[in-house]
Amino acid sequence: MNNKLISIALTGLLASTSISSAFGTNISIVGRIQAEYSGINIEGFSSQTTVNDPTFFSSWGIRAFEDLGNGFRVVTMIDFGFNTNGGSIGNREVFVGISKDSLGTLKFGRTHSPFADFAGGWTIDPFVYTTLQATGSGGTMIASANGLGSGSYSAVNSVVRFTSTTFNGFSFAVLLMPGDADKLEAHLGGHLGGHGNNIGDTGGENGEWDVQFAAKYVMDFQSHKLEVFSGYSRDNVSSAQKKITAFNLKTEEVGRIGGVWSYKNFSLQGQYDFISDALGAATCSDAAALGAIGDVSTRQCNTAMNPGGDGSIWYAGGQYRLGNTTLIAQGGMTDANKTDVFASRKSKSFTVGGLYHMSKRTNLFGGYQHVDVIDKNSIVDRDRNTWTVGMRHLF
């Protein structure tokens, strides 16, 4: 139902211009642009409103491929983010690879992770890349850009990724990132990296490889469609992180299960993550950023674990398509267990709203989200209320 529209919006692969070079390479110019009028009220701060693209959805890029024969072709992508208020956000995906329809696609460079765009993650969140997204709100994971990220804004540097074609409903994806990658983009926040302004210090040491694996199975039966998925992520502790003796950091592991069930115009979706020994991929990062309003940070760190701690995150939602309108209700809860340094924290969220599909490339969206925060480390629980209306176009 709505999942196809979400996938198109997130990959940004709708080409308005396609040309062939003199060397036989097919080149497409792709892009997307979005603006929201949103209001965010964080307990203890003044309510703030703004008109911009707070989740950095907008981007433009170049996609190219060359037919090599025998079903093989070279694929490349260069994607640049920008802010509708002016200014550049930086690179998104930048990769080169090779694909074959009967096997799959192998990429080298900077890509999104399977936890983001393959098994759950943003693929089951109809509000992804809006102020109402589940990422960071207490519903789905946030992540660093170099910590095998599962957040909507993040991508993973210096990786090898293979995504298989679908065999009888089954498909899988695997991502590898070499160790000693301590000079790559990280943007960690909280106690592992200030307020997200540091660069580096993620990735394993002594040649260890971080790894993420995910698989899913899709089945159609009459008017029913069922998709189930699972995944595993391993983020090795870096040399710099080991020196933070206060937390006794170890290798982070994340397990995920989830699924989507659709029947005609109705669908349900959900996932569950369990995090052990949290590092970059499960602590606050720029993947949770909503930009800044004046001096007030709107970073959504409500799905973060305590550094070095365990915890869990679940998300569930439903959608109903009525003509050109999709009605949405969803929510989630995060449990961050206590550690030797920090007390436990919880956050619960619910979101209601809708999408109006003006065309296959353009939609209007809007809604309301409440996040209830229970933080035993703070005197004041910073609950938040968010509303937004916005417009999105793909070109």
Higher pLDDT, 21 or 174: 174
What is the rounded average pLDDT of the residues 320-345? 95
Q: Identify the pLDDT of residue 297.
A: 67
Tens digit of each residue's pLDDT (9 = 90 or more) over 135-151: 888 888 776 666 677 77
**pLDDT tens by residue, 259-270:** 999 999 999 999
Whether 153 shows a pLDDT value over 60: the answer reads yes
pLDDT at residue 83 in the model? 78
Q: Over 111-179, what HEC string results?
A: ECCHHHHCCCHHHHCCCCCCCCCCECCCCECCCCCCCCCCCCCCCEEEEEEEEECCECCEEEEEEEECC
pLDDT in tens, 352-366: 999 999 999 999 999
Confidence of residue 61 (pLDDT cuts 50, 70, 90): very high
CB 351 within 8 A of CB 367: yes
Return all residues near 85 (Cβ < 8 A) that are at least 6 apart.
52, 53
How confident is the model over 172-228, as pLDDT tens digits?
999 998 766 555 666 666 677 655 555 556 666 666 788 999 999 999 999 999 999
Between the alpha carbon of residue 204 and those of residues 43, 213, 244, 309, the distances in Å are 38, 17, 15, 18
Q: Mean per-residue pLDDT for 244-258? A: 89
Q: How far is CA 103 from CA 13, 100, 162, 173, 215, in A?
A: 21, 5, 10, 12, 15
Give residue-wise pLDDT tens across range 276-293.
Answer: 998 877 777 666 667 665
pLDDT of 9: 43
The label of the residue with tokens 């070499």 reads 178
Return the closest-CA partner of residue 385 out of 373, 363, 370: 370
Per-residue confidence band for 10, with pLDDT thresholds at 50, 70 and 90: very low
How far apart, in Å, are the Cα atoms of 303 and each of 116, 117, 138, 145, 367?
15, 18, 5, 16, 21
Rg of the chain on CA atoms, in Å: 20
pTM given for the model: 0.88
Q: How many Cα neighbours within 13 Å face the side chain of 261?
A: 2
Q: For residues 5 and 388, which has the higher predicted lDDT (pLDDT)?
A: 388
**Residue-level length of the chain:** 395
Amino acid at 136: G
Q: Are 158 and 110 in contact (CB under 8 A)?
A: yes
Report the pLDDT value the prediction gives residue 76, as an integer from 0 to 100: 95
Please report the pLDDT score of residue 371 as a whole number: 94
Six-digit token string for 289: 């950023």
pLDDT at position 235 is 86
If DSSP codes are grouped into helix, strand and coil, which group holds residue 282?
helix
Residues with Cβ < 8 Å from 17, sequence gap 6 or more? Answer: 28, 29
- If one compares 96 and 48, the residue with the highest pLDDT of the two is 96
In 6-146, the DSSP E strands lie at 15-20, 26-42, 48-52, 59-69, 72-82, 88-100, 104-111
pLDDT in tens, 308-319: 999 999 999 999
Tokens of 260: 């989507």
Say if residue 355 is exposed, middle or buried (CB neighbours under 10 Å; 0-12, 13-18, 19+).
buried
Q: Can you name the residues that pair with 364 across neighbouring β-strands?
A: 356, 391
Q: Is 332 helix (H, G, I), strand (E, B) or coil?
A: strand
Tell me the C-alpha distance between 272 and 277, whole Å. 17
Looking at residue 87, what is its pLDDT?
Answer: 67
Please give the full DSSP string across 190-228, using - where no structure is assigned: ETTTEETT-----S-STT--EEEEEEEEEEEETTEEEEE
Q: How far apart are CA 181 and CA 213, in angstroms?
A: 20
- Model pLDDT, residue 280: 74
Please report, in angstroms and rounded to a whole number, the separation of the first and last CA atoms in the chain.
Answer: 21
pLDDT at 255: 94
pLDDT value of position 141? 74
Cβ-based neighbour number of residue 126 at 10 Å: 29
- State both tokens at 335: 């449990």
- In the DSSP assignment, the letter for residue 9 is H
Q: Which residues pair with 175 in a beta bridge?
A: 161, 212
pLDDT-derived band at 56, boundaries 50, 70, 90: confident
